Chain A
C-alpha cells in the first residue's frame, strides 16, 4: 500500500508531498522523506562498483525502516521522486512502472507556462493524475 509520494527539487527543496493514508502523521512521513534524501546523496556521490551504470534513474530500495520501504528515482535534472510504501513484497517492475508514469505526470505539470520551476507544484491535474497512478499501482 503506497503511503506517500514526494517530489524534491535539485536543491533538496520539497516541491510536492502527498500522503495516501490518514492514519499516519504527516510529519513522520516528512521526516522519512527527508532522511531518504541523505541516502540518495550517498548513492549518487559514491556509485557502486558492481556494474550499475552512472546514468540509472531508478535508485531502487533506499532503506527499509520498521514499517516502511522507501524507493527513490532521480531525474536528469536532479529532481528526486520518493515513494514510501508499506508493502512487504514489492515487485521491482511495479515500482519502475510507477516511477515512469509519475515522471510523465511530472513533465506534464512542469510544462504548464504558469508553473515556476523551483516552486511547489500546485497543479490540480497533477494531483489527480498521481492519485490515479497510485490507485492503479499493483493492480496488474
Chain B
C-alpha cells in the first residue's frame, strides 16, 4: 500500500472524531480544581500538570505521527512549525504561529491566539501563580522527548495573567542520539 503523504492540519482535523468544546473545557477545569484541592500549593499543581502533560505527550506523539504521515523533520525549525501548524490544529483545533527564533535556531516561541481550554476561566486571587494550561507545555516536552529531543518548555505570556496571547517558549537542550541496547561487536 503506498504510504499516505503528509496531510495538512485542517484535513486531519476534519476527518477525526471530535468532542464538544465545553465538555472538554469543563473536564479540564474540574481536573485543575481537584488538583488545587488535593495539593493546595500552586507550585505543586503546576508541576503535576506538567507531569500529566508529559505522560500525555509520550503517547500522543505516536498518534500524531500515524495520523499526519509527516516525514522526518530536517531541523528544529521544521519541528516547531509542525507542532504549531499541524499538531495544535489536529488536537485542539486552533492554529498557532511560530516566532522569535534565536540566532542559533534552538529556541523559539509558539503563540496561540485562542485556547479552547480557557473559555470562561478566571483565576481567583488565591491562585495567581497558577499556570492553568501547563499541561500543554508537558505535552510538547513529552512528545519531543520521544523523538530524541530534550527540550524545556515554559510559558512566557498567559492571558489568564493579564497578557494578550498565550506564548510558549520551546528551547531545544540537546538531541539525544538513538541508543541501542546491544554493543556492535557482539
- B-contact 0/1 string along A87-109, CB 8 Å cutoff: 00000000000000000000011
Residues in A with CB closer than 8 Å to B22 are 111
For the complex of A and B, list the 5 residue pairs with the smallest distance between their C-beta atoms, beginning with the closest.
A113-B29, A111-B120, A114-B124, A112-B120, A123-B122
- A-contact 0/1 string along B118-134, CB 8 Å cutoff: 01111110010000000
- 14 new A-B contacts, CB < 8 A, other than A111-B120, A112-B121, are A108-B120, A111-B25, A111-B119, A112-B29, A112-B120, A112-B122, A113-B26, A113-B28, A113-B29, A113-B33, A113-B121, A114-B29, A114-B33, A125-B122
Residues in A with CB closer than 8 Å to B26 are 111, 113
Q: Is B30 an interface residue when CB atoms closer than 8 A count as contact?
A: yes
Residues in A with CB closer than 8 Å to B127 are 114
**What total of chain B residues lie within 8 Å of the partner, measured CB to CB?**
15
Q: Is A13 an interface residue when CB atoms closer than 8 A count as contact?
A: no
Give A109 to B122 CA distance when docked, in angstroms.
9
Give A74 to B97 CA distance when docked, in angstroms.
45
**Prevailing SS type, chain A contact patch:** loop
Most chain A Cβ neighbours within 10 Å, of B29, B30, B119, B122: B122
Residues in B with CB closer than 8 Å to A111 are 22, 25-26, 119-120
- A-contact 0/1 string along B10-45, CB 8 Å cutoff: 000000000000100110111011000000000000
Q: Is A122 an interface residue when CB atoms closer than 8 A count as contact?
A: yes
Minimum Cβ distance to chain B for residue A28 (Å):
30
- B-contact 0/1 string along A115-129, CB 8 Å cutoff: 000000011110000
B30–A113 CB distance below 8 A: yes
Q: Which of A25-50 contact B (CB under 8 A)?
A: none
Give A124 to B122 CA distance when docked, in angstroms.
8
Chain B minimum-CB-distance residue to A122: B124
Residues in A with CB closer than 8 Å to B120 are 108-109, 111-112
Chain B minimum-CB-distance residue to A110: B120
Chain B minimum-CB-distance residue to A124: B122
Minimum Cβ distance to chain B for residue A58 (Å):
25
Most chain B Cβ neighbours within 10 Å, of A111, A112, A114, A124: A114
Residues in B with CB closer than 8 Å to A112 are 29, 120-122
Could you list 9 examples of A-B contacts with CB < 8 Å?
Answer: A109-B120, A111-B119, A112-B29, A113-B30, A113-B32, A113-B121, A114-B33, A114-B124, A114-B127
Residues in A with CB closer than 8 Å to B122 are 112, 114, 123-125
Minimum Cβ distance to chain A for residue B98 (Å):
30
